């Protein structure tokens, strides 16, 4: 499977969003709302470090996508966090 394949990128972005969604939602139901907020903030901080430092330093540019790939990956982490927060607040 090629990295240039749009299906691969769509699957990767869905995985970023679903992972963040699952982590935040699990924190809400297992530990409560205060811990959920802390976990959501820590997850966003993790995504910043992972996408804008770790991936740029340790992954090949064709794999990480450079800065634009990092922005896209980070935005899907944030989408997952926001959807989980929205689902809990309903």
pLDDT digits (tens, 9 = 90+) for 75-89: 999 999 999 999 998
Supply φ then ψ for residue 4, to 5 degrees: -80, -10
Q: What confidence category does residue 4 fall into, taking pLDDT thresholds of 50, 70 and 90? A: low
pLDDT digits (tens, 9 = 90+) for 22-67: 999 999 999 999 999 999 999 999 999 999 999 888 988 777 777 7
Q: What confidence category does residue 6 fall into, taking pLDDT thresholds of 50, 70 and 90? A: low
Which residues fall within 8 angstroms of residue 12, CB to CB, at 6 or more apart?
73
Which helix (DSSP H) or strand (DSSP E) does residue 14 occupy? helix 6-31
Which helix (DSSP H) or strand (DSSP E) does residue 5 occupy? none
């Amino acid at each position: 499977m090629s990295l240039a394949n749009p299906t691969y990128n769509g699957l990767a972005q869905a995985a970023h969003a679903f992972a963040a969604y699952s982590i935040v939602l699990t924190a809400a139901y297992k530990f409560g709302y205060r811990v959920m907020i802390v976990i959501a903030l820590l997850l966003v901080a993790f995504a910043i470090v992972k996408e804008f430092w770790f991936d740029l330093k340790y992954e090949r540019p064709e794999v990480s996508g450079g800065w634009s790939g990092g922005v896209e990956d980070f935005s899907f982490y944030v989408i997952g966090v926001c959807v989980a927060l929205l689902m809990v607040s309903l």
